[in-house]
Amino acid sequence: MASTPLADPALLRDLVIANRILAREGVLDAFGHVSVRHPERPDQYIISRSCGPELVTEDDLQCFTLTGEQVAGNPQPPYAERAIHGAIYEARPEVQAICHNHSPSTIPYGVTGVPLRPIYHMAALLGTEVPIWDIADDFGDTDLLVKTMEQGRSLARTLGPRRVALMRGHGSVVAGRTLREVVICCVYMEQNARLQAQALALGEVRYLSPGEIARMSEALTAPLSSERAWSTWRRRAGFAD
């Protein structure tokens, strides 16, 4: 429906690719979403309409203010939980991309008190501490969905300056400086969560140290690594070069 592009077509293409990769790698299924801040209008962000991520195309994209009013793009219904994105962009000027997901292997860490922590180098982007946001703390019994800016801002406060926060009984948010950083963090968060459960079943776990996390985070976000991951996963998600 959009006759003029919402932003640089290459960025829109990358957002579509990010949707498809995250679906293909088991982070998103029919639910969950990924967004990017508008590069020329930092008080707006771009995200798909309400649609399964593996089906998203450029024609599905919509543009919103940080408080969730649509300003451009596909006229069909938006994601109910877009307040997650607006509230984090509002609180974190350096954040350029966000994924909200229900990545299945992470769910146990939101409900047991066992902290999600990097057990191998590829998951260093999880950082030294992954906080858990419990919607019931501020809002009591809900459907667990983040549907208001007040709820989104509460989640953003728990996230603080970090890249990742778990959402109790629901999923997580991942915020980063680039779409590639967010995608890499999400893919290895899911794998780490599964591997960490296997390790915990075997015995005491030695986690990455804060120094190791810092050094490997630099390596993972450097172009050599991030382009290698992106190009591999985009091909696996069905995009020819």
The residues assigned a catalytic role are: 81
Secondary element (H or E) of residue 228: helix 223-236
Nearest of 140, 168, 133 to residue 154 by alpha carbon: 133
Nearest of 173, 143, 144 to residue 157 by alpha carbon: 173
- Enumerate the H helices of 124-167 as residue ranges: 135-139, 149-159
For residue 189, the Cα-to-chain-centroid distance in whole angstroms is: 10
Distance CA 106, CA 165 (A): 11
Contact 213, 124 (CB under 8 A): yes
Half-sphere exposure of 212 (CA within 13 A, CB side): 12
Distance CA 154, CA 156 (A): 5
- 115's CB contacts (< 8 A; 6+ apart) are 109, 129, 130
Q: Which amino acid is at 217?
A: S
* Angle at alpha carbon of residue 119, lines to 31 and 108, rounded to 5°: 40
